[in-house]
Structure 1
Amino acid sequence: MPFSHDGEGAAAAREKLEIELLLEAIYRAYGYDFRNYAYDSIRRRIRHGMQALGENEISALIPLILHDRERMKRLLQSLLINVTEMYRDPSMFRAFRERVVPFLHTYPHIRIWHAGCSTGEEVLSMAILLEEEGLYDKARIYATDIDEGALEKAKEAIYPLRNMKLYTHNYIRAGGTREFSDYYTADRDAAKFHSSLQRNIVYARHNLATDQSFNEFNVILCRNVLIYFDRQLQNRARRLFHESLAMFGVLALGSRETIHHNDYSECYEAIDDGEKLYRRMR
């Protein structure tokens, strides 16, 4: 028989409770904090993880991950989001080159924070842009993520060769001034980016849900991360960025994210609202 309306409501409430207990267990046992991620998003990812682990009940995951670190790693692969590409949203990088780079030339040193850097494609994109604009030698990029596996891949800077066609197209649209293929060496089905691009990048684990500010930055990029947070966690991240951004520093958000309609809206002016580039004014 199909569930009654009350039965459906009870089942949904039970599932929500099971998800809350699972996320609490993950946080207490491993320090990964997904408790304030957007509910629908985290629910989908947990369901995906259940399929990968061959489990039918959310509640069954709790003892599984508490007593089996390898199973926890597999679940984590479903919970963490590593969707990225080089020069993602090329028009943003073009706007950054045209509107922000002249401002950066006035600084003796530049500190940039890529928050939620995933596997490093956008970090390398910025390193190349700064290199072409004559800024890289006075810059230091701090690339952080909650996912240690993603950080290791970012350090390697090895990506599928099949992706280079898209990345080259994005690079050209972003205003690149050289041959994109000059930045990597092809080896069979992989593209290894030159180690010189990594010389001013520091990779570190950082959790936007629990960790604090660790430096003052001239630029903070956190693109396509806030959309996965609930309002409470979004506000925490915005506060963290405000505390970490130098006066007149630049904040770059994702195409579906905004600085408007929150406690820090009045602290920024738009450099390019369409490309989600903002300058801290207070």
Structure 2
Amino acid sequence: MASEFIDTAEIDTAEIGRHYDERSPIGDVLRDGHIHMWYWYDDEDDATLAEAVGRTSRKVADTLGLRPGERLLDAGCGPGATSVFLATDYGARVTGISISEFELGAARDRAAAAGVGDLVRFEYGDYTDLAYADDSFDAVLALESLQNAPDLAVVFGELFRVLRPGGRIAFSDFSLESRAEPERVAKFMASLKLRELPTLAEWLEHARGAGFVPEEYTQCGPRVFGRKSKYLRTAMPRRQEIAERFGEAAVTTFSRRHLGFFAPRPDQIGYVIVSARKPLR
């Protein structure tokens, strides 16, 4: 575990909410309603940042095998673009939760603009103590939201509880690929407020520990964090546009807050996608 890399002092829910309130407004604009990672096939891939981020949404969601009308919990919904996509492309009935007031407001506006208010609703929700009854959902999506869990065992347990028997979970998140140069990894973790950085094997252990049965998993770090230089080349031409909208000081602060994110070598940080099922009773 990466607890050896960082002081895991208490980071409360309110602090994580502020973390996203501060970073999500610019991220929302840069990534067209998403704040999660990109996916580029290679350096010659000409996909825009929004397209590359959308690929990640599709790759993770496709592992769920969603059917029209199924009830889905988007656990850590961000500014709402993924929830809207799940409703429009799969016909799912989506409940998105976040602890960021900015994200909830942006998500509600996005759903209204897309005309999917009958399929999507957004609520303040802490996945360590969900307000939903047992067996409430057919599927759960957690796109880079588990990384901020105060206790992964508790969160996986709650997501397991609210899934019906036979229901599915798909999650994606960062993973540890190299223990060399731990100071680089520590900067990365501090930037994202991570308590731990599991390996792929450890992510699977967490899922199994809650009772899930993993059915599909992959490590696609080289096309995700490994393309961080591609992200910079793609995002930098929009700097002036973002500065005109948010102000030069806001852009400078946004960039400074992300310095630690870029500290690790491309091969140190992976990106895992895991799909698992809650067994039938």
Give TM-score scaled by structure 1 length. Answer: 0.50
Bigger Rg over Cα:
1
Structure with bigger RCO (C-alpha 8 Å, 6+ apart): 2
